A and B are shown apart, each in its own frame.
Chain A
């Protein structure tokens, strides 16, 4: 079966750190993606993990554990502009993306 789960909504404070988790169960695995989507706008690519471990890219980092079917997106030094939905998607054996419903992140001053 194919299933991907992430929290519906999270709240964090400006300047803080937040971790958004994503679990997946797919038949076959070809990588895990994170996208950012501001309300009413296009999703934009943040990160891609295919091997276990942490990938750091500025304030954003993404982690993958294939054995646990688990990924997280870590956002540091939160800014108000980080308020958005964060979409997790994994690529199955047919190279098709299976998308989570997204996590709406609310940043408070």
Chain B
């Protein structure tokens, strides 16, 4: 079955450590996205990529980094520069970006807690 897989599901980190969240899709989608979800707030876009080897900052990119070396993979690194990293992180993909009926398929999410 095609889908989008995030790992790990739960992750604990000490302050000052970088962590990398994995996102893999086998849907042959061109576009991939990382969102952050906090209680009482809408999803906020961290980074997105519409094509391999290219990505753009979203609304809250500071303290995060990404890479898109393969079409299937879009890992997110939460660096020590991110001041408030505890959150639920969602990866998503779509057939392509930049169109109207751009339906997103989401992964199950990764919950990061900073101790």
Contact = CB atoms under 8 A, between A and B. Distances in A.
A31 B97 CA distance: 14
Interface residues of B, number: 22
B110 to A, nearest CB: 11
Contacts of A48: 101, 103
Contacts, number: 54
Contacts of B74: none
B40 A42 contact: no
Interface residues of A, number: 25
B101 A31 contact: yes
Interface in A25-49: 30-31, 33, 35, 40-45, 48
A100 B109 CA distance: 18
Given A41-B108, A41-B109, A99 B43 contact: yes
Contacts of B95: none
B10 to A, nearest CB: 10
Interface of B: 40-45, 58, 90, 97-109, 111
* Top 8 A-B residue pairs of the complex, sorted by shortest distance between their CB atoms: A99-B42, A42-B106, A99-B43, A30-B100, A95-B98, A31-B100, A101-B42, A45-B103
